[in-house]
Amino acid sequence: MSEWQGRTAVITGGGRGFGKAFAEALCARGAHAVLVDLDRAAGEAAAAELSSRQLSAQALQGDVTDAARMAEVMDLAAQRHGGIDLLINNAGLHSDEYSKPMRVLGIDKVRRLFDVNVMGTVTCTLAAAPFMAGRDGANVVSLSSMAAYPSGTAYGASKLTVAALTIAFASELGGEGIRVNAIAPGMILTETIKAELPEATMDFVRAGQALKTDGAENDIVEAMLYLSGSGARFVTGETLRVTGGMGAGV
């Protein structure tokens, strides 16, 4: 039997992209997936697709910056499934729009970026932690980014903060048996990224990779399965770079 049989994963930004792929991988291994998304239609469509394959998935609408709603979401997930075993902090603002200097973005966009990427991670982790404490193998996986190394944009700075929060929460929650780690994806050629990134930008990133191959969505799914699984039982406070060697350093 899979180690995820009957366990519960709450995935923010679960309606599409990495979030949906995480849900599919976990459900296929017997987990219950709770897909939290600001876009109600996207979350419900993703959950319906999984449910049509006899997989256990439900959608809950919510904004990760809304502390009251996230507390309600975590409570609903825990009531339905008896607790929470995994929280994936995947929801975030990204794309070319936010990969610009802060003086170009302006204060309102910078504030919204940090509200979602940083405070959203804090809000959801604090809301889920009481329902994870003491559960065997309970852990949190957050999404950082290659853009954090170095963090030359507002987006990169927000994702560097996610890596720092990973260390802080690992220390704070370790006594309750909760591991906390993060993944920093490099250029992963999802359909969204292919549509958004100019070819020149993709070529620039490829030139900086040690591995001259393109990253795929499944590379990030496999990283999540490792960090959230029993094989990483003694790993906490770490950010795993999945970048093909881009930005490697100490």
Q: What are the 10-residue block averages of pLDDT along the chain, 250 residues in total?
A: 94 96 98 98 98 97 98 97 98 84 94 98 98 98 94 91 98 98 94 83 91 95 98 98 85
| For the chain, domain boundaries | 8-238
Long-range contacts of 165-173 (CB under 8 A, 24+ apart): 165/118, 165/121, 165/122, 165/125, 166/142, 166/237, 166/238, 166/239, 167/237, 169/125, 169/140, 170/236, 170/237, 171/237, 173/125, 173/129, 173/132, 173/133, 173/140
pTM of the model: 0.96
Question: 8-238 architecture in CATH?
Answer: 3-Layer(aba) Sandwich (3.40)
